[in-house]
Amino acid sequence: MSSSYLLERAWVGGAVHDDVLVEIADGRFASVVLTRRNSPLSDGVPSGQRQFHRVPGETARLPGLTLPGLVNDHSHAFHRALRGRTQRERGTFWTWREQMYAVAERLEPDTYRALARAAYREMVAAGYTSVTEFHYVHHRPDGTAYASPNAMGDALRQAAEDAGIRITLLDTCYVSSGFGAPPEGVQRRYSDGDAEAWAARAGDGPAAIHSVRAVPREQLPVFRGRAPLHVHLSEQAAENDACLAAYGVTPARLLHEADLLGPGTTVVHATHLTGDDIELLGTTGTRVCITPTTERDLADGIGPARRLHEAGCPVTIGSDSHAVVDPFEELRGLEMDERLATGERGHWTAAELLAVGTAGRGIEVGAEADLVTLDTSTPRTAGTGADEHTAVFAATAADVSQVVVGGRVVFTRGDEQEIGRELDDAIGALR
Ligand SMILES: [Zn+2]
Is-contact 353 393, C-beta < 8 A?
no
Residues 385 and 369: their CA atoms lie apart, in Å, by 25
Cα-to-centroid distance, 75 and ligand 1 (Å): 6
Q: What is the pLDDT of residue 294?
A: 94
Whole-angstrom Cα distance, residue 40 to residue 365? Answer: 10
Task: Please tell me whether residue 289 adopts helix, strand or coil conformation.
Answer: strand
CA 318 – CA 355 distance, rounded (Å): 14
Strand pairing category for 128-135 and 408-412: unpaired
pLDDT for 54: 46
Whether the bond into 228 is cis, omega within 30 of 0: yes
Sorted by where each begins, the domain ranges of the chain are: 2-67+375-419, 70-357
Q: What is the pLDDT of residues 205-247, one digit of tens each?
A: 999 999 999 999 999 999 999 999 999 999 999 999 999 999 9
3-state secondary structure labels for all residues of 328-387: HHHHHHHHHHHHHHHCCCCCCCHHHHHHHHCCCCCCCCCCECCEEEECCCCCCCCCCCCC
Under-50 pLDDT residues of the chain: 42-55
* Distance from the alpha carbon of residue 232 to the mean position of ligand 1, in angstroms: 6
Any bridge partners for residue 169, and if so which? Answer: 133
Q: Do domains 2-67+375-419 and 70-357 have the same CATH topology?
A: no
CATH of the domain spanning 2-67+375-419, picked from 3.40.50.720, 3.30.465.10, 2.30.40.10, 3.40.50.1100: 2.30.40.10
CA 416 to centroid of ligand 1, rounded, Å: 26
Q: Residue 101, SS3?
A: helix
- The order of strands in the sheet holding 128-135 is 70-75, 128-135, 166-173, 207-209, 229-233, 265-269, 287-290, 315-317
Strands 28-34 and 371-374: unpaired
- Between the CA of 392 and the centroid of ligand 1 the distance, in Å, is 24
DSSP helix/strand/coil, 261: coil
Rounded Cα distance, 251 and 239, in Å: 8
Pairwise CA distance, residues 154 & 147, whole Å: 13
Angle between helices 327-342 and 350-357 (to 10 degrees): 130
Q: Catalytic residue positions?
A: 269, 320
Strand order in the sheet with 400-405: 39-40, 28-34, 15-25, 2-12, 60-68, 371-374, 400-405, 408-412
Is 57 exposed, middle or buried, given 0-12, 13-18 or 19+ CB atoms closer than 10 A?
exposed
Tell how far the Cα of 291 is from the centroid of ligand 1, in angstroms. Answer: 9
The model's pTM: 0.94
Residue 56: the pLDDT is 53
CATH superfamily of 70-357: Metal-dependent hydrolases (3.20.20.140)
Looking at the DSSP assignment, which residues form a beta bridge with residue 266?
230, 287
In the reported structure, the alpha carbon of residue 417 is separated from the centroid of ligand 1 by a whole-number distance in angstroms of: 28
> Pairing between strand 371-374 and 229-233?
unpaired
